[in-house]
Each structure stands twice: as C-alpha cells, then as structure tokens.
Amino acid sequence: MKYIYDMHQMMLKNNVILVYEGEFTQEITKSVLAMAERNMDSIGEESGIKRKVFNVMVECLQNIVKHGDDYISGEIKINTAIFMIGKHKDSYIITSGNPIKNEQIDALKSKLDEINSLDKDGLKTLYKDIIKGEVGLTNKGGAGLGFVDMARKSGQKLEYGFESIGNGHSFFALKTTVPRG
C-alpha cells in the first residue's frame, strides 16, 4: 500500500491536479475536460487562462483519441494512454502520452520540429495554410492543426519524446506549458 502514498507524494511534489490513464473515448474525454474545468473554476482561475488551457487540453485529448494506436504486449491488445495537468505558480503543464507506430515517428518529429521553429507570425501563416488545405493530410486525416493551435495558444515550444515499447510501437509523450500571466 506504500505505493499509493508514494504516488500521492509524487503528484503533490509535481503539482499534478488531474491524471487519467486508460482507454480514451469521446465520452471519457468529455468527463476529463469537465473535471479539469471544475477544478479551475474552484480555484477561481482567470477566464482567459482557462480558455487557453481548455483549448490545449481539447487538442491533446483529441490527438489521443484520433491518433493513438493499439499495440500488442504478449497476447494482450492494449489501448491505453495518459493525460495529466499540473498547476504551478506561473503556468499550467498539460502532458499526454499514447502509443504510436514507429513508422509515424519521423513524420511526427518533423512536424513538431517545424512548429517549434516558427515564431508567432510563422505559426499564424502555417495555421492558415492548413485551413486552406495547402498543407497535406496524413493517412489518419490530420495535418498538425491541433499541434499548431497548441503552440499558438500557449505561446511556448511543444516538448516531446518517444520511448520504444516494442512490437513496432513507441510511446509518444507531449508536454505543453501555458503561462498564467
């Protein structure tokens, strides 16, 4: 039972206010968003900050639902991901993670690196190009609009990483920081 206490202490130390790990569906996404919104309401967060955080959360969760992949571990099919939000004095940290196929890594890394290389005006131009259909879609229908929107709303670089989990898959982790002021 000590692991529960240790986990609680780790969450307190890292200012985690909401964690969900498991299967993500549209219904679960709605519930996670509602819990996060109630949490921000209860602490009296400013509406402009809430809007930015909420927008980033929606994009993270939609990314998991639309682009996460099942993978096989032993004989078990796994469809699980994680979403966390933490509140610090000067920012919110929104983190998500989900399995993806290894063959998607290069394209995803390239897309994220491009987004991170752009300034505010460059992000605005890329956003408009995607909306106009001037930037191609992936085989799952995405063009990176959500990532661009996350970078625009947060005004920060998107942090990411990939951890191999075997069977042709890796765990994609994404962290977005939304300043509170």
Burial class (CB in 10 A: 0-12, 13-18, 19+), 80: middle
Contact 174, 95 (CB under 8 A): yes
Nearest to 54 by CA among 89, 6, 94: 94
| Side chain identity, residue 71 | Y
Q: CA 115, CA 122: separation in Å to the nearest integer?
A: 9
Q: What's residue 148's pLDDT?
A: 94
Per-residue pLDDT tens for 54-70?
999 999 998 888 877 77
Q: CA 38, CA 30: separation in Å to the nearest integer?
A: 12
Per-residue pLDDT tens for 109-168?
999 999 999 999 999 999 888 888 766 555 554 567 899 999 999 999 999 999 998 888
Domains for the chain: give ranges and CATH numbers. Answer: 2-179 (3.30.565.10)
Contact 93, 177 (CB under 8 A): yes
- Element containing residue 123 per DSSP (H, E): helix 120-132
- Section 40-59 average pLDDT: 92
Residue 113 half-sphere exposure, CB side, CA atoms within 13 Å? Answer: 7
